[in-house]
Amino acid sequence: MSRFEIKMPKLGESITEGTIISWSVQVGDIIKEDDVLFEVNTAKVSAEIPSPVEGKVVEILFKEGDTVAVGTVVAIVDIGGENSEDEDSVEALQSSATDESVAVVSKAASEETPQVKAVKSEEERWYSPVVLQLAREAGIQPKELDTIPGTGYQGRVSKKDIKSYIVRKQSGGIMIAKPTATPEVQRITPASGTFSAEGVEVKEMDRVRKVIADHMVMSKHTSPHVTNVVEVDVTKLVKWRDKNKDAFFRREGVKLTYMPAITEAVAKALAAYPQVNVSVEGYNILFKKHINVGIAVSLNDGNLIVPVVRDADRLNLNGLAVAIDSLALKARDNKLMPDDISGGTFTITNFGTFKSLFGTPIINQPQVAILGVGYIEKKPAVIETPEGDVIAIRHKMYLSLSYDHRVVDGSLGGNFLYFIKEYLENWKE
Catalytic residues: 405, 409
Taking the C-alpha atoms of residue 160 and residue 128, their distance in angstroms, rounded to an integer, is 12
Do 11 and 45 meet the contact criterion of CB atoms below 8 Å apart? yes
Distance of CA 209 to the CA centre of its chain: 11
| CB neighbourhood size of 76 (10 A) | 21
β-bridge partners, 375: none
Displacement of CA 212 from its chain's centroid (Å): 7
User: What is the sign of the dihedral through the CA atoms of 317, 320, 322 and 328?
Assistant: negative
Q: Which residues of 147-161 are buried (b: 16+ CB within 10 A; e: fewer)?
A: ebebebeebbbbbeb
The kind and range of the H/E element at 340 are helix 338-341
SS (H, E, C) 343-372: CCCEEEEEHHHHCCCCCCCCCCCCCCEEEE
Look at the chain and count its residues.
429
CA distances from 333 to 10, 22, 272, 337 (A): 22, 19, 35, 12
**DSSP assignment letter at 117:** B
User: From the DSSP assignment, how many helices (H) and strands (E) are in the chain?
Assistant: 12, 21
- At 317, the amino acid letter reads L
**Nearest one of 275, 270, 277 to 313, comparing CA atoms:** 270
Bridge partners (DSSP) of residue 57 are 77
Q: Diameter of the chain by CA atoms?
A: 92
Instruction: Please state, as a whole number, how many other Cβ atoms lie within 10 Å of the Cβ of residue 428.
Output: 6
Provide the angle, in degrees to the nearest 10, between the axes of the packed helices 410-425 and 259-272: 140
Q: 293 with 311: CB under 8 angstroms?
A: no
Give Cα separations from 327 to 32, 223, 297, 336 (angstroms). 31, 28, 9, 7
